[in-house]
Amino acid sequence: MSDANTARLERLSGMLKRRGVLLPAFEIHGGAKGLYDFGPVGGRLRNRVNQTWLNHWLSLGNIVELSCPTVTPYAVLEASGHVGEFSDFMTMCAACEEASRADTLLESFHPNPDSLSKADLQALLDQSQPPCPSCNAVDWTKITAQNLMFNTTIGAGRSGRPGFLRPETAQGMFTSFPALYRHNRERLPFGAVQVGKGYRNEISPRQGMIRLREFNMAELEYFINPHEPAKHDFSAWDGHAITLVADEQGEVKMTFSEAVEKNIIRHETVGYFMAKTFDFLTKVGIDAERLRFRQHEADEMAHYATDCWDAEIHGSYGWVECVGIAHRGCYDLEAHENATGKTLRARREFDEPQVVEIDGWTIDGAKAGPAFRALAGAVKVAVENLPSETNFPIELTLESGDEVVVKSEHVKRDQRTETLSGEWYIPHVVEPAFGIDRIIWHILDHAYDEIGKDGEEYTTLRLSDHVAPVDYCVFPLFEKDGMGELAKTIHAKLCMKPDVVSMYDSSGSIGRRYARADEIGVPRCITVDHQSLEDQTVTVRSRDTGEQHRVHIDEL
RNA sequence: GCGGAUAUGGUGUAGUGGUAACAUAGGAGGUUUCCAACCUCUUGUCGCGGGUUCGACUCCCGCUAUCCGCACCA
pLDDT (0 to 100) of residue A133: 66
| Residues A35, A212 contacting (CB under 8 angstroms) | yes
Separation of CA A549 from chain center: 44
pLDDT (0 to 100) of residue A305: 66
Domain A3-62+221-332+429-437 sits in CATH 2.60.40.1180: no
How many whole angstroms separate alpha carbon A413 and alpha carbon A228?
38
- Cis status, amide bond into A393, omega within 30 of 0: yes
| Residues A313, A319 contacting (CB under 8 angstroms) | yes
- Cis status, amide bond into A387, omega within 30 of 0: no
How many whole angstroms separate alpha carbon A110 and alpha carbon A104?
10
Between strands A548-552 and A537-542, the pairing is antiparallel
pLDDT (0 to 100) of residue A417: 77
> What is the 3-state composition of chain A as percent helix, strand, coil, each rounded to the nearest 5?
35, 30, 35
In angstroms, the Cα distances linking A76 to A197, A213, A335, A338, A430 are 17, 21, 10, 12, 20
Amino acid at A5: N
- Protein residue closest to B7, using CA and C1': A30
ipTM: 0.88
In angstroms, the Cα distances linking A176 to A69, A166, A343 are 12, 15, 12
- 311-370 of chain A touching strand B, CB 7 A cut-off: 321, 324
- 223-262 of chain A touching strand B, CB 7 A cut-off: none
How many whole angstroms separate alpha carbon A501 and alpha carbon A469?
7
Q: What are phi and psi of A79, to 5 degrees?
A: -60, -40
How many whole angstroms separate alpha carbon A354 and alpha carbon A370?
36
CB-based burial label for A147 (10 Å; 0-12, 13-18, 19+): middle
Which nucleotide's C1' is closest to A205 (Cα)?
B73
Between strands A22-24 and A36-38, the pairing is antiparallel
Crossing angle for the helix pair A42-58 and A268-283, to the nearest 10 degrees: 140
Q: How far is the CA of A209 from the C1' of B7 (A)?
A: 21
Which nucleotide's C1' is closest to A459 (Cα)?
B36
How many whole angstroms separate alpha carbon A231 and alpha carbon A257?
12
pLDDT (0 to 100) of residue A314: 92
Q: Burial code of A357-394, b = ≥16 C-beta within 10 A, e = fewer?
A: eeebbebeeeebeebbeeebebbbebbeebeeeeeeeb
pLDDT (0 to 100) of residue A380: 79
Asked whether residue A541's C-beta has any atom of DNA/RNA strand B within 7 A, the reply is yes
- Per-residue pLDDT of chain A (556 residues), as tens digits, is 567 788 888 899 999 999 999 999 998 888 888 999 999 999 999 999 999 999 999 999 999 999 999 999 999 998 998 887 776 677 776 665 566 677 777 777 776 666 666 777 777 888 878 776 666 677 777 776 656 788 888 887 777 888 999 999 999 999 999 999 999 999 999 999 999 999 988 767 778 888 899 999 999 999 999 998 889 999 999 999 999 999 888 999 999 999 999 999 999 999 999 999 999 999 999 999 999 999 987 766 665 667 899 999 999 888 999 999 999 999 999 999 999 989 999 999 888 888 877 788 887 878 787 888 888 778 877 887 888 888 888 888 877 777 888 888 888 887 777 788 889 999 999 999 999 999 999 999 999 998 865 556 789 999 999 999 999 999 999 988 899 999 999 999 999 999 999 999 999 999 999 999 999 999 999 999 999 999 999 999 999 999 999 999 998 8
Which nucleotide's C1' is closest to A20 (Cα)?
B10
| CA dihedral over A372, A375, A376, A379, signed as positive or negative | negative
Beta strands per DSSP E along A298-397? 307-315, 318-329, 346-363, 394-397
- 83-102 of chain A touching strand B, CB 7 A cut-off: 85-86
How many whole angstroms separate alpha carbon A526 and alpha carbon A65?
37
Instruction: Return the number of other C-beta atoms located less than 10 Å from residue A188's C-beta.
Output: 20
Asked whether residue A161's C-beta has any atom of DNA/RNA strand B within 7 A, the reply is no
A347: β partners? A424
pLDDT (0 to 100) of residue A95: 65
Domain A470-555 sits in CATH 3.40.50.720: no
Domain A71-165 sits in CATH 3.40.190.10: no
Which nucleotides of strand B lie within 7 A of protein CB? 1-2, 10-13, 25-28, 31-38, 47-48, 63-74
Question: Please, which residues have CB within 8 angstroms of residue A160's CB and are 6 or more apart in sequence?
Answer: A153, A154
pLDDT (0 to 100) of residue A208: 83
Which residue ranges make up each domain of chain A?
A: 3-62+221-332+429-437, 71-165, 351-422, 470-555
In angstroms, the Cα distances linking A517 to A11, A136, A537 are 17, 66, 21
